[in-house]
C-alpha cells in the first residue's frame, strides 16, 4: 500500500466513525423525547397495557336528561257518568281514578280502569260540616256511628270495589277533623295494606298527620284543579301544580269528571308529557320519599 492510499483509508474510516456517532446521538435524543412524552401522557401507557388503542379524539360529555318532576292527578267522583269517565281513561295520561261506592257505574268503571292498569281508589264518602246541605251519598261514614257500624260500612264499600289500591275522602270536612274516628278508619286501611290520600277538604284535617304516625303509606292533595270550571282556570291550576312539583320534586292534584276538565287536559296534553312524569298515586307515594 502506498502512502497516499493509507492516508485515503484513514480519512474514510474517520468519516464512518463520525457518521456512526451522529446516528447514536440522534437515536439518544429521540429516545429521550419519547420517554418524556410518555411521562406526560400516562393514559396512553395505561391503554397500551390493556391492549387498547388510545382515542384520537376527546369523547364528548354525556348528555344529561333534563329534570322532570313527578305528578299524580286523581280524577274523583267516578261512578255516575260512564261516557265521560271513559273519555278520561282514553286520554293516554297516567291518571288515577277514585270511585264512589254504590253508584250506577261504580263497579264497571273501576274494573275498566284496573284493566287499563290505572290506579283505582275508593272515594270514601265521609260526613261534611253541613250534612243537611251536603249529602255524601251511599256508603258514607258518619260521626254518629259506632266503630262497629263504621267498620261494617267500610267493609261493604271495599267489598264492592276489591281492586282498589287505596282510599281518599269524598267530602268529609267534619269527619276528617275527628281524631278517634280517623284513627279507627286508618288502622282498618293499614290492616288491609291500602294507601291513604287526604283530599284535604278541611284545613283542620288530621288524616295525613295520623296516617304518617300510624305508618300508613300516605299523602295529601296539593291542588284542586277544577273548582272553577273553565279550561283557562284549570290551566292556571295545572301551572300551580307543575310549579310546585318543580320546586319540591312531586305534587298531587285532584280533578273531577267535568267536560271542561277533559278539555283542559287535552289542551295541556303535550306540555304535561314534556314537562312532568305522570305517575299513578301508588307509585308516586312509593317514590316521593326518595325525592
Q: Is residue 25 part of a domain?
A: yes
Q: How far apart are CA 290 and CA 36, in angstroms?
A: 50
For residue 250, the enclosing domain spans 70-290
User: Domain check: are 238 and 205 in the same one?
Assistant: yes
22 shares a domain with 155: no
Buried b (16+ CB within 10 A) or exposed e, 34-68: eeeeeeeeeeeeeeeeeeeeeeeeeeeeeeeeeee
What is the rounded CA–CA span in Å between residue 121 and residue 161? Answer: 9
| Residue 58 belongs to some domain of the structure | no
pLDDT of residue 288: 78
What pLDDT is stored for residue 21 in this prediction?
63
235 lies in the same domain as 105:
yes
Looking up residue 255, the CATH number of its domain turns out to be 3.20.20.370
Claim to verify: residue 89 and residue 173 sit in the same structural domain = yes
Whether 97 is covered by a domain: the verdict is: yes
32 and 156 assigned to the same domain:
no
- Pair 125, 265 in one domain: yes
Q: Which three cell numbers stand for residue 232?
A: 283557562
User: pLDDT value at position 34?
Assistant: 52
19-28, 61-70, 99-108 — which is least confidently predicted? 19-28
Q: What is the mean pLDDT of the chain?
A: 86
DSSP state of 175: G
Rounded Cα gap, residues 195 and 189, in angstroms:
7
Q: Is residue 44 predicted with pLDDT exceeding 50?
A: no
Q: Do 179 and 243 sit in the same domain of this protein? A: yes
Q: What is the dihedral of CA 229, 200, 280, 141, to 10 degrees?
A: -100
pLDDT above 50: residue 192: yes
* pLDDT-based confidence at residue 54 (cuts at 50, 70, 90): very low
Whether residue 169 lies inside any domain: the answer is yes
Judge if 31 and 100 occupy the same domain: no
How far is 207 from 57, CA to CA, in rounded Å? 59
Predicted confidence at residue 210, as pLDDT, reads 98
pLDDT at 280 over 70: yes
Amino acid 130: pLDDT: 95
Q: Could you tell me if residue 65 is inside a domain?
A: no
Same domain? For 13 and 96 the reply is no
pLDDT at 2 over 60: no
pLDDT score of 29: 63
pLDDT band at 16 (very low <50, low <70, confident <90, very high): low
Write down the pLDDT at residue 67. Answer: 80
Window from 2-16, 183-197, 230-244 with minimum mean pLDDT? 2-16
Q: Please indicate, yes or no, whether residues 142 and 233 belong to a single structural domain of this protein.
A: yes
Model confidence pLDDT, tens digit, residues 157-177: 999 999 999 999 999 999 999
pLDDT at residue 53, as a whole number: 35
What pLDDT score was predicted for residue 30?
57
DSSP designation for 136: -
Q: What average pLDDT does the segment 107-132 reach?
A: 98
| 55 pLDDT tier (thresholds 50, 70, 90) | very low
Give the number of domains in the chain. Answer: 2
What's the pLDDT at 12?
54
pLDDT at residue 51 tops 80: no
One domain for residues 154 and 227: yes
CB atoms within 10 A of CB 261: 22
Please indicate, yes or no, whether residues 25 and 88 belong to a single structural domain of this protein: no
Amino acid at each position: 500500500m502506498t502512502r497516499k492510499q493509507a492516508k485515503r483509508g484513514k480519512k474514510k474510516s474517520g468519516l464512518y466513525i463520525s457518521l456512526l456517532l451522529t446516528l447514536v446521538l440522534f437515536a439518544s435524543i429521540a429516545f429521550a423525547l419519547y420517554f418524556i412524552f410518555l411521562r406526560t401522557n400516562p393514559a396512553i401507557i395505561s391503554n397500551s397495557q390493556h391492549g387498547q388503542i388510545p382515542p384520537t379524539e376527546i369523547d364528548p360529555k354525556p348528555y344529561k336528561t333534563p329534570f322532570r318532576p313527578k305528578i299524580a292527578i286523581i280524577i274523583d267522583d267516578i261512578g255516575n257518568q260512564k261516557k265521560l269517565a271513559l273519555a278520561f281513561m282514553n286520554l293516554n295520561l297516567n291518571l288515577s281514578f277514585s270511585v264512589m261506592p254504590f253508584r250506577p257505574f261504580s263497579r264497571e268503571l273501576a274494573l275498566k280502569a284496573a284493566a287499563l292498569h290505572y290506579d283505582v281508589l275508593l272515594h270514601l264518602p265521609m260526613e261534611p260540616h253541613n250534612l243537611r246541605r251536603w249529602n255524601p251519598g251511599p256508603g258514607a261514614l258518619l260521626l254518629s256511628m259506632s266503630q262497629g257500624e263504621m267498620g261494617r260500612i267500610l267493609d261493604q264499600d271495599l267489598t264492592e270495589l276489591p281492586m282498589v289500591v287505596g282510599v281518599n275522602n269524598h267530602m268529609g270536612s267534619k269527619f276528617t277533623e275527628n281524631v278517634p274516628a280517623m284513627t279507627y278508619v286508618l288502622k282498618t286501611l293499614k290492616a288491609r295494606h291500602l294507601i291513604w290520600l287526604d283530599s284535604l277538604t278541611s284545613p283542620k284535617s288530621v288524616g295525613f298527620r295520623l296516617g304518617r304516625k300510624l305508618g300508613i303509606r300516605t299523602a295529601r292533595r296539593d291542588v284542586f284543579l277544577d273548582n272553577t270550571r273553565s279550561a283557562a282556570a284549570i290551566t292556571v291550576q295545572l301551572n300551580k301544580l307543575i310549579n310546585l312539583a318543580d320546586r319540591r320534586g312531586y305534587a298531587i292534584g285532584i280533578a273531577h269528571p267535568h267536560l271542561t276538565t277533559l278539555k283542559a287536559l287535552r289542551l295541556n296534553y303535550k306540555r304535561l308529557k314534556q314537562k312532568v312524569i305522570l305517575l299513578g298515586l301508588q307509585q308516586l307515594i312509593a317514590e316521593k320519599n326518595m325525592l
